Amino acid sequence: MKGAFGMNARRKVARGFTLLEILLVIAIIGMLAGAAVVALIPAREGAKIDTTRDVLIPQVMDALERYNLNMGHYPTDEEGGLDALLKEPSTTDDEGSEKKWRGPYVKKSPRDAWGEPLKYELVTDEQTNREVPHVSSNGPDKQEGTDDDIKSWSEDEGSGT
């Protein structure tokens, strides 16, 4: 049988992808996605460390300084520690603490990038004999006293105790 153009007509067979080809493409996409995830996990952890060290802890330290400027002292454990940055003192001293408080100094209770509450303590600076605030995070491993802890003070300053 001759076609319209004088040639033998050939039947064109529509050829789709085989199951094997589809599975091969899915496997390649899966390997690429897995490699991307493995490459991004350390970057994400580094971003959490950077955020806690460079953003969160300095913001809390600034809030503590504003509290100190208004109240004349850093929050004590009796006042609730870092929670004193959120709530007005319920007790008054001779100087009328409730009138000096200009908070809240933070929007919510400070937590590090891993969802753990920040640690706060007042220590006495041995050189100036004044109390200074120390704010820290236990870091990614959530264990206190390990190498990945993030602190508001340098090790050169020591703990002050």
Q: 62-100 pLDDT, tens per residue?
A: 999 999 999 889 998 888 889 989 988 765 555 555 578
What's the rounded Cα separation, in Å, for the pair 159 and 125? 8
Give tens-digit pLDDT for 105-140: 999 989 999 999 999 999 988 888 899 999 999 989
- Which spans in 52-144 are helix H? 57-71, 97-100
Looking at the chain, how many residues does it have?
Answer: 161
Provide the whole-model pTM: 0.67
Distance, in Å, from the CA atom of 72 to the CA atom of 62, rounded to the nearest integer, reads 15
Residue 161: the pLDDT is 39
